[in-house]
């Protein structure tokens, strides 16, 4: 039986990448008079690198090698601050909704006394505004631990952010279940030893999810069934705590 659910944010709680982060990066590039433009296809490739600052540096090295790396040390943090401002303004206007079933599952978990946490590579401000604007004004307080951004040096697929969260929860990995949407995220949670359920997103549907307890299109809702892509199929329409517990036990992470 797990005691805590640990949620990724981007792609898992909400579809934030294509019409959120990507547009905010492009607006920041414009504000700085740069001719960089990340279209939907290019952004899919750049998502292999987690973290916005790291992603911009990767882009320059790969696509704009003419820029000296010494210039980037000042430019990238400034661009990233501007990008975060654009992104949080968009979110504050309710710009991006929660994915199907997320609110329902969080409410069920809260009512059942399951502890909640977040493990993400994105900037802490982005998490706060998303939770407040798209979930509930008090939703930040629903999560006992929020691990985000630069609190660890190595971002996903390194396990560091999950290990940071586990330490603060005071729980061993097998007493938790992680929810992720990407291969990088799954590799991070699995390296930390946490059984993980994946809900794919547009950018991640063709990635390798071996090692996941189950892979689904989304969490589903009553009357709006999810489709299960991998893992023990228990014939359920949507994900609730009972289903997560059965998958957790099937993964060999149940009571010793
Ligand atoms: C999400 C990310 C984030 C965002 C950008 O990965 O990679 O970097 O794209 O956020 P995951 P910042 O869902 O695996 O945590 O610009 O704030 O870094
Ligand atoms: Mg993600």
Domain ranges of the chain: 4-15+97-251, 17-92
Q: What is the pLDDT of residues 23-73, one digit of tens each?
A: 999 999 999 999 999 999 999 999 999 999 999 999 999 998 887 776 888
Decide whether any atom of ligand 1 lies within 6 Å of the 50 Cβ: yes
Q: What is the pTM of this model?
A: 0.96
CATH of 4-15+97-251 among 3.80.30.20, 2.40.40.20, 3.40.50.1000, 3.40.50.300: 3.40.50.1000
Residue 71 pLDDT: 81
* Closest alpha carbon to 71 in 27, 13, 119, 32: 32
Enumerate residues 6+ apart whose C-beta is below 8 A from 86: 23, 24, 27, 28
Decide whether any atom of ligand 1 lies within 6 Å of the 199 Cβ: no
Cα of 170 vs centre of ligand 2, distance in Å, is 24
- Measured CA to CA in angstroms, residue 148 lies from 70, 103, 151, 246 at distances of 27, 20, 6, 29
- Which residues of the chain have a pLDDT value below 50? 254-256
Going by alpha carbons, the residue nearest to atom 13 of ligand 1 is 10
Cα of 70 vs centre of ligand 2, distance in Å, is 30
Residue 253 pLDDT: 64
Domains 4-15+97-251 and 17-92 share a fold: no
Decide whether any atom of ligand 1 lies within 6 Å of the 189 Cβ: no
Which of 19, 20, 50, 85 most suits a substitution to test ligand 1, by most atoms within 8 Å of the C-beta?
Answer: 50
Fold of the domain spanning 17-92: DNA polymerase; domain 1 (1.10.150)
CA–CA gap between residue 139 and residue 102 (Å, rounded): 12
Provide the token pair at 16. Answer: 């934030």
The helix/strand/coil state of 195 is: coil
Decide whether any atom of ligand 1 lies within 6 Å of the 120 Cβ: yes
């Amino acid at each position: 039986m797990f005691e805590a659910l640990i949620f990724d944010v981007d792609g898992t709680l909400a579809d934030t990448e294509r019409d959120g982060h990507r547009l905010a990066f492009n607006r920041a590039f414009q504000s700085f008079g740069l001719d960089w433009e990340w279209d939907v296809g290019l952004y899919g490739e750049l998502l292999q690198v987690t973290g916005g600052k790291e992603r911009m540096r990767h882009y320059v090295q790969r696509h704009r090698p003419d820029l000296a790396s010494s210039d980037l040390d000042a430019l990238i943090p400034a661009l990233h601050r501007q990008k975060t401002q654009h992104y949080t303004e968009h979110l504050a206007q309710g710009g991006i909704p929660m994915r199907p079933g997320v609110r329902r599952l969080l409410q069920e978990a809260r009512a059942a006394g399951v502890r909640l946490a977040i493990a993400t590579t994105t900037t802490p401000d982005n998490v706060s505004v998303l939770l407040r604007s798209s979930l509930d004004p008090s939703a930040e307080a629903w999560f006992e631990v929020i691990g985000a951004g630069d609190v660890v040096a190595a971002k996903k697929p390194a396990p560091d952010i999950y290990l940071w969260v586990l330490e603060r929860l005071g729980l061993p990995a097998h007493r938790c279940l992680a929810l992720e949407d990407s291969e990088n995220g799954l590799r991070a949670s699995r390296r930390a030893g946490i059984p993980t359920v994946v809900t794919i997103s547009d950018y991640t549907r063709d990635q390798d999810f071996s090692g996941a307890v189950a892979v689904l299109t989304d969490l589903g809702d009553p009357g709006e069934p999810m489709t299960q892509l991998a893992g023990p199929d228990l014939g359920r329409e949507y994900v609730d705590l009972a289903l997560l517990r059965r998958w957790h036990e099937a993964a060999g992470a149940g009571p010793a």
